[in-house]
Amino acid sequence: MIRQKPADRKGAYDRIGLSGRFALLSLALLLAVTALAWTAARESGQRQAAVFAKQLAIERAGSVAALAAGTLSRDPYGAERAAQSAAALFPTSAGALVGPGGETLAVWGDSEALLRGAPIHVPIGEGDHVLGQVRLAVPTTAATGALSGASAIFVAQMAALLALAIAVMGVMVRGVTRPLQRLTQFAQQMSAHSMGSKIDIRSGDEIGTLAQSFNAMLGRLDESMRSVQQLAFIDSVTGFPNQERLRGEIDGTIDRCRENGAMAGLAVISFDRLSRTVETLGRTGGEELVLALSQRLATAVAGADATVRLTESRDNPAILAKISDNEFAVLLPSLADEGNFERFVQLICAPFGRPFEHRETRVVLGCNAGAVSLPGDGAEADLALRHGRMALAAARSASQPMRFFTPSLDRAAIERLTLEREMRVAIEANQFRAHFQPKVCLRTGRIIGAEALARWNRPDGIAVGPVRFIPLAEEAGMIGPIAEAVLRDACWKAAGWLREGLDMSVAVNVSAIQLGDDRFPALVRRLLEQSGLKPSALELEITESVAMDDPERAMRMVGPLRELGVRFAIDDFGTGHSSLAALTRLPFDVLKIDQSFVRCLSTDKQSVSIIETILALAVSLNFESVAEGVETELEAEFLRRRGCPIAQGYHYGKPMPPLEFLATLRAAEERRAQRIAL
Ligand code: C2E
Ligand code: MG
Ligand code: MG
């Protein structure tokens, strides 16, 4: 036999609820009261029966005594006869006739009954004429167990009354427990489903009040839950799911794909210049722009869903999420193939070639995307997002609209992490220094200045070029100390050359991040003061793309330093998208012709015309021009003839450490002095 566990019994007890418990209690009460009434009635019946039996016995004993007195007065030996007559008269009684001396004269009936209990003694005869005694047993057994009719009726009445009381109480209790049951059921529903509904109990009593409070509490709870969910899972500006929510969707999609062998896709999308533009527009303006952008993106996603994913999209639409300040993501829960995916991403990026008209300004926000095939390239959400971001970074650095994730990107990311770690150590060890490349006056051949170029002088003796570490330093937020080290080197060295009587200027490159840092002008001022370099001997180079990206900011930054006397150059000119209007407004002094045009001079006629046009433009805008990447005398000759005043390139010297540069400078000065002497 399986014994029920106590916990189960308790569970069963709990499950029967309040009404069940009341019914059980009532039943137990009914049984107990009936038993009590039964016992009481039984005892009173017994007592009445005993009294009645004794009375009967006394009466009988009296009759027997009278009978015996008659018989014995006539015949002193007639006791036997008298006993027989008594036995015949009262066949249910037992008794004995006892002589005056206590001797038993005759016995009838059950003599044992005489010995049990206390028999009735009645004298035979009267006064002095006593002939003996009648002893008669009291018939107690006859009364035992007998319940009088009156008692039975009493018990029945009691039970009926009690049953009625219980029934009335039951109805009353049900009136209380029913709303409570409904409250309980409602609470269960709430915990299982939503908290949106309300309980409909309109009684005016405490339970009605309780139900109303319950409804009010639910309303407030529902509201708080909603706002908590909003905060936790929804982006506040766009109303799109945020990264947290997207993670759950990605995991669900990956599981489904695994179950039915399907393919899905995730694209992480970012917009060039978005953070900076939002920052410039301020909070409200920035949010408006992000909202407009997200609406354009949502329309593009719906369009791409309809054209590329066709019918599936209706059941399984693409999910658009905002996963960081500058990043959106699109999850395609089902896809036919990678080609399909690529087409989808191209379609959603396409509308961002068009400028945004925002508060009377036109903003062009280029769009890049990193695509990940699921579940192949992302076994779970975090990995999928990480790979999407890697592909996005690769697309951005290659200036491509989109890139698919490949395992080689992962390897590159690990290498980058290693490099980043090494760079942090190198900054501490002051391994970032400036090398100097001569700038030459094409007319006189004199070195008139130098460009300071960052080098990472590793302890193994290798000088790493900036192309490897500057972009990473910018991304990892380490450009500040590196740029400061180069600028400090440049100022101190140039001040030293000037003190030696060498009339030289020094050019230093400024990154987009530095240009965006409001502390930059103060840093330049401080280093100029500390080194003692005159401001006019310092030239700051800003690449054309950075300057044109945000001309207003460039102007704000350049203005005060230029007033101090610092000169400004537009680096790599010809590769960006300068508008003539912006160019005339920007307070620059120098145009540095990008080396790609110089390198193609002998092979590409177009480069010839471009250089001629830039030189003409520089003259008309009153800019000085510098040609970069001059490697041959032929190129130098061409530039000289076209009136280019300054050249820089391997033809005159590669970037070199300060001491080597100083030696080169002195040697050149000596040669010049000798030429003049001759
Ligand atoms: P950039 O400012 O346009 O510098 C000119 C680059 O062309 C330098 O490369 C220089 O070594 C190279 N170069 C000069 N003449 C010739 C030539 O005749 N032929 C060839 N093939 N190359 C020549 P580098 O030093 O590798 O610097 C690359 C870029 O890194 C620089 O381009 C500049 O944009 C950036 N950079 C360098 N130093 C710094 C720095 O301190 N801060 C910042 N923000 N960027 C820097
Ligand atoms: Mg430069
Ligand atoms: Mg350049």
What the chain holds in terms of domains, given with CATH numbers, is 17-144 (3.30.450), 234-405 (3.30.70.270), 417-592+656-666 (3.20.20.450)
Query: How high is the pLDDT of residue 19?
Result: 66
Q: Whose CA is nearest to atom 13 of ligand 1?
A: 629
User: Looking at per-residue confidence, does 561 or 150 come out higher?
Assistant: 561
Query: How high is the pLDDT of residue 148?
Result: 57
Query: With b meaning 16 or more CB within 10 Å and e meaning fewer, what string describes 500-535?
Result: eebebbbbbbbbbbbbbbeebbebbeebbeebebeb
Ligand 1 in contact with 465 (CB < 6 A)?
Answer: yes
Most confident listed range (22-26, 411-415, 437-441, 576-580): 437-441
Q: Is the pLDDT of residue 390 over 60?
A: yes
Q: Is the pLDDT of residue 450 over 80?
A: yes
Q: Whose CA is nearest to atom 10 of ligand 1?
A: 655
Please tell me the distance from the alpha carbon of residue 618 to that of residue 427, in angstroms, as a whole number.
38
Ligand 1 in contact with 655 (CB < 6 A)?
Answer: yes
In degrees rounded to 5, what are phi and psi of residue 534? Answer: -75, 140
Least confident of 30-44, 493-507, 535-549, 607-621: 30-44
Ligand 1 in contact with 631 (CB < 6 A)?
Answer: yes
Tell me, in angstroms, the distance from the centre of ligand 2 to residue 470's CA. 13
Q: Whose CA is nearest to atom 12 of ligand 1?
A: 629
Mean pLDDT of the chain: 85
User: Looking at per-residue confidence, does 416 or 454 come out higher?
Assistant: 454
In degrees rounded to 5, what are phi and psi of residue 573? Answer: -65, 140
Tell me, in angstroms, the distance from the centre of ligand 3 to residue 592's CA. 7
Integer CA distances (angstroms), 296 to 238, 332, 356, 574, 678, in order? 11, 18, 10, 32, 73
* Amino acid at position 501, single letter: G
Can you tell me the mean pLDDT for 88-92? 78
Please tell me the distance from the alpha carbon of residue 571 to that of residue 540, in angstroms, as a whole number.
9
pLDDT band at 314 (very low <50, low <70, confident <90, very high): low
* Nearest C-alpha neighbor of 69 from the set 100, 38, 23, 41: 100
Query: How high is the pLDDT of residue 329?
Result: 97
Ligand nearest to the CA of residue 598, numbered in listed order: 1
Ligand 1 in contact with 294 (CB < 6 A)?
Answer: no
Element (H, E) at 97: strand 95-98
Give the helix ranges, DSSP H, for 90-148.
111-115
Can you tell me the mean pLDDT for 247-251? 96
Can you tell me the mean pLDDT for 434-440? 97
Please tell me the distance from the alpha carbon of residue 598 to that of residue 611, in angstroms, as a whole number.
8
Q: Whose CA is nearest to atom 8 of ligand 1?
A: 453
- Look up residue 342 and give its two tokens: 């690529």
Query: How high is the pLDDT of residue 244?
Result: 93
Tell me, in angstroms, the distance from the centre of ligand 1 to residue 572's CA. 10
Query: Cα torsion at 212, 216, 217, 222 (round to 10°)?
Result: 130
Element (H, E) at 135: strand 129-136
Q: Whose CA is nearest to atom 19 of ligand 1?
A: 629
Helix (H, G, I), strand (E, B) or coil at 240: coil
Ligand 1 in contact with 368 (CB < 6 A)?
Answer: no
Tell me, in angstroms, the distance from the centre of ligand 1 to residue 645's CA. 20
Can you tell me the mean pLDDT for 626-654? 97
pTM, full prediction: 0.54
Range list of β-strands (E), 376-483: 402-404, 432-441, 447-457, 463-464
Ligand nearest to the CA of residue 507, numbered in listed order: 2
Least confident of 135-139, 341-345, 440-444: 135-139
Write down the residue that tokens 């579940």 correspond to: 375
Query: How high is the pLDDT of residue 361?
Result: 72
Least confident of 19-28, 54-63, 532-541: 19-28
Tell me, in angstroms, the distance from the centre of ligand 2 to residue 433's CA. 15
Which atom of ligand 1 is nearest the CA belonging to 631?
18
How many other β-carbons are positioned within 10 Å of the β-carbon of residue 391? 25
Tell me, in angstroms, the distance from the centre of ligand 1 to residue 453's CA. 6
* Amino acid at position 388, single letter: G
Which atom of ligand 1 is nearest the CA belonging to 434?
41
Please tell me the distance from the alpha carbon of residue 397 to that of residue 551, in angstroms, as a whole number.
22
Range list of β-strands (E), 307-412: 319-324, 327-335, 356-358, 361-363, 367-374, 402-404
Which residues crowd ion ligand 2, with CB under 5 Å?
509, 541, 571
Q: Which residues are CB-neighbours of 362 under 8 A, at least 6 positions away?
A: 355, 356
Q: Whose CA is nearest to atom 3 of ligand 1?
A: 572
* Amino acid at position 336, single letter: A
Query: With b meaning 16 or more CB within 10 Å and e meaning fewer, what string describes 347-372?
Result: bbbeebeeebebeeeebebebbbbbb
Q: Is the pLDDT of residue 206 over 80?
A: no
- Look up residue 96 and give its two tokens: 């004995």
Tell me, in angstroms, the distance from the centre of ligand 3 to residue 398's CA. 18
In degrees rounded to 5, what are phi and psi of residue 440? Answer: -120, 140
Range list of β-strands (E), 384-424: 402-404
Element (H, E) at 96: strand 95-98
pLDDT band at 324 (very low <50, low <70, confident <90, very high): very high
Portion of the chain with pLDDT greater than 70, in percent: 90
What single string gives the DSSP state of each residue in 251-311? HHHHHHHHHHT-EEEEEEEEETTHHHHHHHHHHHHHHHHHHHHHHHHHHHHHHHHHHHSTT
Q: Is the pLDDT of residue 503 over 60?
A: yes
